[in-house]
């Protein structure tokens, strides 16, 4: 099956997850236990089951999988609507981040039916018979669907994502031609939801040192900015077996970006730029 | 203090759980072909040892050569050889795909999927062609 854009939901259902044991490479405190099943509302006609990852830091218990039944006739069309419905009608302790509900803030990034996306732009009708909702993959979990992004933003800080200039400050703004401005298209739109970094197997295994697709896309956004004057220093910092070169062009990042951006291409551009400056 | 539970107001003493990654993430053509490229690479390095054994037997004389030929000719030997042929072509085609990527070509999602399925189909066709040639043209 050919995927034309990242918002296309895979219809390939014979292999929903890799054939590895559920507890493969999973530390004791991260093991997921069976949770409780909440009953379906009595008068509901169209009911859909949602299996949701829960973790309560105050209980001292391990994470668990709870099953909820959502009345689709009483609920909006998106997965985020279902989560809000559950929080309002069934279990008010269900915890998740959300803000804009229209795919521009990146708060509600999570793993739905095995792929990372924004809950506010994923249709419930595109979910499997039993919808599964996990937090972003490979993150330390604060509570339920809320991941700790401290490390990711520290990695973002490491690339110094601001304008570096050496020439004296101009009287007015720094000008760009239309063509120079166009170089930023496809890169400046990133909303930092970290769907890509969380979906990158290289970042799963080497996330402590590999910067990951989201941060490297930002690195390219500054490298390709005509106003930035620190290209050499930026490339020196990136030219490292781990920071950049743990990217093996798997391209899960490009497959999962909810904004349709292309982190894989941005990383290839950085690698090419490093080769070109050496020749 | 554990770096994983460093939230200022956290009362939790245990470290935060890691959300599942490979245990739940949906296999996609992107990741499956990447793993396949790794695994065929590993398989081929064992296959290279086999090739050296075969060449060594050829140099060692008629009797060792006959032993190795019998092993290769056995049903199990033929299956392994077929697997090595497929691994070789999948790794080769995957490598060519990576060469295009290294020049920053073929990065639209559509091209990624078209080149991915092309690699799969090309390596199946090349494997079958190689075996057809060796069986029908070269003889056993």
Residues of B with CB under 8 A from a CB of A: 4, 6-7, 10-12, 14-31, 34, 98, 101-104, 107-110, 112-114, 117
Residue A103, pLDDT > 70, answer yes
CA distances from B96 to A69, A251, B100, B106 (A): 48, 16, 7, 12
pLDDT of residue A279: 80
- Does ipTM surpass 0.90 in this model? yes
Query: pLDDT tens across A226-235, in order?
Result: 999 999 999 9
Give the pLDDT of chain B (140 residues) as one tens digit per residue: 444 544 555 554 678 999 999 999 999 999 999 999 999 999 999 999 999 999 999 999 999 999 999 999 999 999 999 999 999 999 999 999 999 999 999 999 999 999 999 999 999 999 999 999 998 887 65
B86–chain A nearest CA distance, Å: 21
pTM (whole model) above 0.90: yes
Q: If you average pLDDT over residues A240-255, what whole number do you get?
A: 97
Interface touch A17/B109, C-beta < 8 Å: no
pLDDT of residue A11: 83
Query: For residue A63, which residues of chain B lie inside 8 Å, CB to CB?
Result: 17, 19
Q: In chain B, which residue's Cα lies nearest the Cα of A133? A: B24
Query: For residue A17, which residues of chain B lie inside 8 Å, CB to CB?
Result: 23-27
pLDDT of residue B56: 96
pLDDT of residue B13: 60
Query: For residue A23, which residues of chain B lie inside 8 Å, CB to CB?
Result: 23
Partner residue facing A255 (CB), from B15, B24, B109: B109
Residue A1, pLDDT > 80, answer yes
Q: In chain A, which residue's Cα lies nearest the Cα of B97? A: A249
Distance CA A51, CA A24 (A): 20
Q: If you average pLDDT over residues A74-98, what whole number do you get?
A: 97
Interface touch A252/B28, C-beta < 8 Å: yes
Interface touch B18/A17, C-beta < 8 Å: no
**Both tokens of residue B28?**
């996609």
Phi, psi at A263, each rounded to 5°: -60, -35
Query: pLDDT tens across A4-36, in order?
Result: 999 999 888 788 999 999 988 899 999 999 999
Query: For residue A3, which residues of chain B lie inside 8 Å, CB to CB?
Result: 29, 109-110, 112-113
Interface touch A10/B6, C-beta < 8 Å: no
CA distances from B81 to B57, B60, B69, B92 (A): 17, 22, 12, 16
Contacts of A15 (CB under 8 A, 6+ apart): B27
User: A274: pLDDT confidence band, cut at 50, 70 and 90?
Assistant: very high
pLDDT of residue A14: 82
Query: For residue B41, which residues of chain A lie inside 8 Å, CB to CB?
Result: none
Q: Could you identify the residue written with the tokens 């970290």? A: A194
Residue A217, pLDDT > 80, answer yes
Partner residue facing A269 (CB), from B15, B104, B108: B104
Query: Can you name the residues that pair with A133 across neighbouring β-strands?
Result: A52, A112
Query: pLDDT tens across A113-172, in order?
Result: 999 999 999 999 999 999 999 999 999 999 999 999 999 999 999 999 999 999 999 999
Assess contact for A66 and A46: CB atoms under 8 A.
Answer: no
Q: If you average pLDDT over residues A195-203, what whole number do you get?
A: 98
CB pairs under 8 A between A and B: 153
Q: In chain A, which residue's Cα lies nearest the Cα of B31? A: A250
User: A81: pLDDT confidence band, cut at 50, 70 and 90?
Assistant: very high
Distance CA A86, CA A94 (A): 8
């Amino acid at each position: 099956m050919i995927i034309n854009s990242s918002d296309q939901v895979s219809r390939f259902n014979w292999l929903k997850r890799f054939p590895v044991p559920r507890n493969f490479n999973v530390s004791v405190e991260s093991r997921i236990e069976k949770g409780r099943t909440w009953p379906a509302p009595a008068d509901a006609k169209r009911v859909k089951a949602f299996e949701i990852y829960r973790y309560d830091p105050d209980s001292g218990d391990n994470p668990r999988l709870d099953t909820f039944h959502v009345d689709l006739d009483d609920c909006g069309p998106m997965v985020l609507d279902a989560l809000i419905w559950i929080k309002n009608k069934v279990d008010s302790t269900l915890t998740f981040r959300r803000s804009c509900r229209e795919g521009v803030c990146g708060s509600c990034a999570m793993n739905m039916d095995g792929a990372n996306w924004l809950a506010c732009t994923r249709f419930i009708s595109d979910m499997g018979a039993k919808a599964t909702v996990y937090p972003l993959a490979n993150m330390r979990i604060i509570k339920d669907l809320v991941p700790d992004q401290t490390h990711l933003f520290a990695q973002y800080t490491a690339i110094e994502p601001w304008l570096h200039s050496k020439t004296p400050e101009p009287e007015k703004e720094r000008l760009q031609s239309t063509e120079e401005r166009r170089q930023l298209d496809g890169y400046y739109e990133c909303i930092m939801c970290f769907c890509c970094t969380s979906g990158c197997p290289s970042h799963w295994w080497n996330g402590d040192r590999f910067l990951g697709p989201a941060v490297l896309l930002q690195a390219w956004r500054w490298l390709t900015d005509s106003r930035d004057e620190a290209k050499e220093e930026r490339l020196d910092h990136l030219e490292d077996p781990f920071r950049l070169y743990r990217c093996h062009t798997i391209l899960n990042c490009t497959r999962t970006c909810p904004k349709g951006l292309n982190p894989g291409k941005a990383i290839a551009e950085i690698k090419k730029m490093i080769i070109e400056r050496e020749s | 203090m554990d770096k994983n539970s460093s939230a200022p107001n956290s009362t939790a003493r245990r470290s935060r759980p890691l959300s599942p990654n490979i245990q739940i993430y949906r296999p996609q053509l992107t990741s499956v072909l990447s793993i396949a490229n790794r695994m065929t690479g590993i398989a081929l390095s064992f296959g290279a040892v086999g090739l050296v054994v075969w060449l060594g037997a050829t140099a060692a004389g008629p009797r060792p050569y006959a032993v190795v030929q019998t092993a290769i000719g056995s049903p199990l030997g033929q299956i392994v050889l077929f697997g090595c042929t497929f691994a070789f072509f999948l790794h080769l085609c995957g490598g060519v795909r990576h060469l295009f990527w290294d020049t920053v070509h073929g990065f639209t999602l559509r091209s990624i999927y078209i080149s991915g399925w092309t690699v799969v189909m090309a390596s199946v066709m090349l494997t079958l062609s190689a075996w057809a040639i060796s069986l029908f043209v070269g003889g056993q």
